[in-house]
Amino acid sequence: MSHLEIINRWPSLGDFASDLGVAYGTAKAMRRRGKVPAEYWCRLVERAREREIDGVHLDVLADAIAREAAE
């Protein structure tokens, strides 16, 4: 699963931004780049669990970066 696919699991980009504690424009840039910076990963995993969004784990986030680097 890519970071973009993870971002798109949120009900809205506004909800994603709020959950990470970032401005909407910052969340929009993450979506555009298809990357969530590592400093947000723990919060992202926690908020996904709270929202019952399946499949969002630290290893999934790391694997997505590793796959991208290998391409």
Cα 71 from Cα 57, distance rounded (Å): 22
The highest-level CATH class for domain 3-70 is mainly alpha
What is the rounded end-to-end Cα distance, in angstroms, of the chain?
15
* Predicted local distance difference test score (pLDDT) of residue 16: 98
Residue 68 confidence (pLDDT) above 90: no
* Predicted local distance difference test score (pLDDT) of residue 3: 96
* Predicted local distance difference test score (pLDDT) of residue 7: 98
pTM: 0.91
Average pLDDT over every residue of 24-43: 97
pLDDT tens digits for range 47-67: 999 999 999 999 999 999 999
* Predicted local distance difference test score (pLDDT) of residue 69: 87
